[in-house]
Amino acid sequence: MERRHLGITLVLLSSFSAATSADFGGLALAGRTGSLGFGGGMMMNFLPDINGRFGAMYFPLGVSGKIGDVNYDFDLRVLTFPLTMDWYPFHQGFHLSSGLIFNQTRMDLDTGSGAALTIGGTTYAAADLGTVHGKASFHHIAPYVGIGWGNAFGNEGRWGVVGDLGVAFLGRPHVSLRATGPIAVEPSVMGDLAQEEQDVEDDLSVLRFYPVFSISLFYRF
C-alpha cells in the first residue's frame, strides 16, 4: 500500500513539474512611459495566467498656478516604484491588475515674488512677510487597481507591448509652509499659514485618486 501511495505521489509530482515548466516561468525587461513618467522594470511569470511586475518611474515637472489668492511656483518630482500582479482571466491579452505603488513623490512650492500676499484672509506687505516656501508630500504606499492588454509571456514573439489603465489611491497630501520675513514667527501669522496649508491641501486633494496610464515595450528572455 505504501509503495502504491509513493508511486502515485511521484507520478503526480512529475506531472505537475512537467506542466508547470511548460505553462509558466520566465523573465522580461521593459521600458515604460505614462502618467507616472518614464522608467522601466522587470516582468515575471509566476503561475499560469499570473504575472508580476516591479519597476521605477520618474518625472520632473515645474508649473505655476494660483491657489486661493496666492500665486505659487510648483516644482514636482514624481518618483514611484510600482509593484503589481496581473491576472489573465480569459487566457489572452486582457488582464486585471492590482498592487502597491511605493511613492516617493515630493513637491516644493513658493511664492517667488516680492508682492504683497494674502494668506489666511490677511494681506501682508512683502517687507513684513517675505516669501512663502513649502513642501507637499503624499502617502508613501498607494494601492493600485487597473486593467490592461498585453502579455509578455503569451504566444507572441520576444518583443511586445503592454498597455495599462488604472487608478492609484494617493490619499490626501500633507502640506507645510513657512514665511521668510521678520513677522514670520508671530502667532497670528502662524495661524494664517496654518489656514493656507489647509487651503493648499484642499486644492491638491484632487490628486488623491491619481489616473495611471502607461505603455510598456518589453523583451522576453
Question: Domains in the chain and their CATH numbers?
Answer: 25-220 (2.40.160.170)
Query: Can you name the residues that pair with 213 across neighbouring β-strands?
Result: 165
Residue type, 40: G
Indicate the average pLDDT of the chain. Answer: 87
Q: Provide the pLDDT confidence category of residue 126 given band limits of 50, 70 and 90.
A: confident
pLDDT score at 12: 41
pTM: 0.80
| DSSP state string for 95-113 | EEEEEEEEE--EEEEE--S
- For residue 81, is pLDDT > 70? yes
CB 55 within 8 A of CB 81: yes
Cα-Cα-Cα-Cα torsion 119, 206, 65, 104, nearest 10 degrees, comes to: 100
171-190 pLDDT, tens digit each: 999 999 999 889 989 999 99
pLDDT score at 5: 45
Beta strand pairing call for 132-137 and 141-149: unpaired
Cα 90 from chain centroid?
Answer: 27
Kindly report the backbone phi and psi dihedral angles of residue 16, in degrees, each rounded to the nearest multiple of 5, phi listed first: -65, -40
H/E element, 174 = strand 174-179
pLDDT score at 7: 52
pLDDT score at 68: 80
4-24 pLDDT, tens digit each: 544 544 444 444 344 344 445
Residue type, 100: L
Instruction: Give the mean pLDDT of 190-200.
Output: 92
Cα 126 from chain centroid?
Answer: 37
- For residue 25, is pLDDT > 70? no
